[in-house]
């Protein structure tokens, strides 16, 4: 049986191993494991390694989490420590 659910993708843009970047990565991992259990593909993009992506994807502050799929695109800036704010801002369903 094939999974016909629409694709879901979160991208976290960070800048190296700064405290805020590391906190955002840890908080996103916790949110996806505890509240979104396998519902989203997650990618972490280090803008220090590929700075042109900031302009291409309109990233004006870091860390920024983007819900790329499903559309419309939604963004939240910060370390993602407020789980409920993240879920509501990105309009994602948490268990």
| pLDDT band at residue 3 using 50, 70 and 90 as cut-offs | very low
Q: Average pLDDT of 72-93? A: 91
Q: Between 92 and 59, where is the model more confident?
A: 59
Domain locations in the chain? 14-89
Q: Average pLDDT of 48-64? A: 95
Q: How far is CA 24 from its chain centroid? A: 9
- Determine how β-strand 41-46 pairs with β-strand 9-14: parallel
Please state, in angstroms and rounded to a whole number, the distance separating the CA atoms of residues 54 and 58.
6
| CATH topology classification for 14-89 | Glutaredoxin (3.40.30)
């Amino acid at each position: 049986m094939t999974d016909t659910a629409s694709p879901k993708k979160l991208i976290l843009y960070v800048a190296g191993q700064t405290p805020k970047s590391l906190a955002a990565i840890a908080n996103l991992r916790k949110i996806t494991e505890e509240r979104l259990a396998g519902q989203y593909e997650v990618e972490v993009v280090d803008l220090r390694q590929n700075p042109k992506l900031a302009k291409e994807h309109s990233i004006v502050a870091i860390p920024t989490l983007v819900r790329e799929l499903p559309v419309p695109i939604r963004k939240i800036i910060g370390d993602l420590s407020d789980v409920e704010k993240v879920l509501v801002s990105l309009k994602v369903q948490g268990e």
